[in-house]
Chains A and B, each alone.
Chain A
Amino acid sequence: MTEITSLSLFELIKNIKEKNISSNEVAKSFIDRSEKSKKLNAYVTENFENCLKLSKEFDNKPNFDLKLPGIPIAVKDLFCTNEVRTTAGSNILNNFVPSYESTVTQNIWNEGGILLGKLNCDEFAMGSSNETSFFGNVQNPIAKDLVPGGSSGGSSSALAANLTPITIGTDTGGSIRQPASFTGTVGLKPTYGSCSRYGIVAFASSLDQAGPMSKDVKDSSILLEVISSFDKKDSTSIDFQRNNYSSELTRNIKGIKIGIPKEYRVDGMPGEIESLWKKGIEYAKDCGAEIIDISLPHTSYALPTYYIVAPAEASSNLARYDGVKYGLRSSGKSLIDMYEKTRSEGFGEEVKRRIMIGTYVLSSGYYDAYYLKAQKVRQLIKQDFDQAYNKVDAILTPSTPSSAFKIGEKSNDPVSMYLNDIFTVPVNLAGLPGISIPAGVDKNNYPLGLQIIGKPFDEQTVLNIAYSMEEKINYKNNITDWWME
C-alpha cells in the first residue's frame, strides 16, 4: 500500500471506513513524519500526544457516519482552539491560551477531525511569504530556502510535505490561494460570509475568510462542506442554502462560460505565467467550457484600495492588544507608557507598518481622502465583477504573477511584496469565491497555479471547473524530502 501520509483525504476516509487502517495508525504516521520534518518549521504548537489519545478514543468507539472520521488535521495558528495556545504568529500572543473554540475548527471536530497542531503563519496573517512570523521562516518543501507563500505558509508547507492530510487557512488578500500556488496544492477562498469568522484572530474584518487547503479538488469540496455554515456568532455570516459540495462535484462543465479578463495581463508578467494562462484556457476548452473575453477595468486599482482598507481595519482590530487582559505586557511608568512599550515590543515590523498606515488613513482630516475614496473604488471593482457575471459563469486567471521566491528576496521592499497579491486581492474586495489549483511549473520546476473565480455563493461551479481541469492538467508535485536527514 502507498504510504498513509501520501493518501488524499478522500482515500484516508475510505480506508478508515473500510477498517483497513485505524485513526490511531493515521495519526501516528502523520506525527512520525512531522517529527522528522522540524526543519520546515511548519508547526508553532504541536498537539501530538493529545491527538494520539483522541484517535485511540475514536477507534474504541468509531462513528463512520461522520464526514472526517478520526482524521488528524493541523490548522493555521490564526484559529482559536480551546485550551491550545493560539499565537497568530505574533510575540504579543505568544502565551495566549483561548478559553473558546472558533466555529470553523469546532465544525471540524464535530465531524470527527482531531487537532494535530497549530501551523505557522505570517504575523496576524500580514504577509505573503511567512517571513513576518515571530516564530521564524517556514521552508517550502519544493526546494530549500524557498518561501512557502503566505500568510498561510505553515499550512501550505505542512500540506505539501504530507505532514497533514488537509488543512485550513484564512485569506484576506490571497493568503490561501497564493501559498497553495507556491506549493503545488489546492486552496479555496469561499464567498465572504460562508465560513464563520468567530474565533479567528481578526485582521481585516470585511475581507477575512477561512477556507480549505488540500492536495486535490475533491478534498477541498469535502472540507468546505464541513466548515461552511451559518453562524449567529458572526454578524456577517450569511444564511444561504449550502450545497453538498462533495456529492455534487462533477467534471461535467460542458457549456459553462469562462471569462478571461484582459486587465490581468500586467506589465512585467513573466512569459511563463502568460503561457501557463494560455495553456489553462486550452484545458478549459478541452473540458467543454466556452471561453469569453471580458474586461475588469478597475483591476489595477485593487491593490492600492486593499492597502488602504486592510490596514485601516487592522489598525482598529489590533487596538485590543494593550497588555491588559491577555498577551504580552511590557513594563511602563504609566498606563500609556505600558501600552506603547507593549505594542512596540509585541508587534513585528510589518504589523507596525500596517497599523501606522491604517491609523494615518483613518486620522482626522485624511479619512475622506483615503478610506472613503478606497471604499468608493472598492464599489467600482465589485461592479466590474457584477457586470462580467452577466456574461460569464466564472473567470480564469493566473493565481500569482510569479512562482515562489527565495527567503529574504523581497523582505526589504514592502511594495514589491504586496504585488504578489495582484491577482488575488480583487476577489477579496468583491467578496467572491476563488480557488487556486496547481497547473504547471516554471523553469526551476517550481509550481505555478491557476485561479478560478466564481459568482457569490457559487462555490460549486468553481469546484466543478477546478475538478474538471485538474484531471486534464494532471499535475504531480515532485517532493524529495530534502529536509530529512
Chain B
Amino acid sequence: MTIDLKTVKHISKLARISLEEKKAEKLANDMNSIFEFIEKLNELKTENVEPLTSIAETTLRFREDKITSDNIREKILKNSPEKNDDFFVVPKVVE
C-alpha cells in the first residue's frame, strides 16, 4: 500500500495542519516508509484476540459532579492569545 499526495493532503485537512506542496511530498515519503514498517503486523493472525484497550485492569472510577477548583477565570484567560473581557476571541465564524 502506498500513501499518495492526495491522501496526504486529505489527512492534513483532517488534522488541521496546513501543508506546503514541497513538504507534502517529503511527508508522503516518510509516511510510506513508516507504514512499510508497520505492515509487519499483517503477518499475525488476530481474529480471536481481544484488543487491549487499557493496560490498567481496573474499571474507570466515578467522581461526584461538583466543582473543585476556585475561581480561576483570570488565571485561565491570562494564557489566551486574544481575549475580550471574560471571553476568548476567535476569527469571525458567522457572516
Q: Which residues of A contact B (CB under 8 A)?
A: 95-97, 99, 192-193, 206, 232, 235-236, 238, 298, 300-301, 303-305, 307-308, 315, 319, 322-329, 332-341, 343-344, 347, 352-353, 355-357, 359-360, 363, 370, 372-380, 382, 414-415, 418, 429-431
Contact = CB atoms under 8 A, between A and B. Distances in A.
25 contacts: A96-B79, A99-B78, A99-B79, A193-B56, A304-B41, A308-B38, A327-B79, A327-B81, A335-B93, A343-B15, A343-B17, A344-B17, A353-B27, A356-B12, A356-B15, A357-B35, A359-B11, A359-B14, A373-B41, A373-B46, A375-B52, A375-B53, A377-B46, A382-B52, A429-B55
B16 A336 contact: yes
- Interface hub of A96, A357, A374, A431 (most chain B Cβ within 10 A): A357
A430 B55 CA distance: 7
Interface size of B as a range: 35 or more
Contacts of B8: 356
Contacts of A380: 44, 46, 49
B40 A363 contact: no
Contact of A415 (B11, B19, B37, B76): B37
B90 A305 contact: no
A193 B88 CA distance: 35
Given A236-B58, A334-B91, 4 more contacts: A193-B58, A353-B30, A356-B31, A431-B55
B51 A376 contact: yes
A97 B19 contact: no
A114 B78 CA distance: 25
Nearest to B43: A301
A236 B31 contact: no
Interface in B1-43: 3, 7-8, 11-12, 14-19, 27, 30-31, 33-35, 37-43
A417 to B, nearest CB: 11
A306 to B, nearest CB: 10
Contacts of A336: 16
B52 A379 contact: yes
Given A307-B34, A308-B38, A359-B14, A335 B91 contact: yes
Nearest to A329: B81
B62 to A, nearest CB: 10
Contact of B91 (A96, A304, A333): A333
The 9 closest A-B pairs by CB, nearest first: A431-B55, A375-B51, A329-B81, A326-B79, A99-B75, A340-B18, A376-B46, A379-B52, A376-B49
B72 interface: yes
B66 interface: no
Given A307-B38, A343-B15, A353-B27, A335 B90 contact: yes
Contacts of A238: 56, 58
Contacts of A327: 79, 81
Contacts of A307: 34, 37-38
Contacts of A418: 34, 37
A197 B21 CA distance: 38
Contacts of A329: 81-82
B54 interface: yes
A325 B55 CA distance: 32
B41 A374 contact: yes
A380 B78 CA distance: 47
A296 to B, nearest CB: 14
A236 B55 CA distance: 9
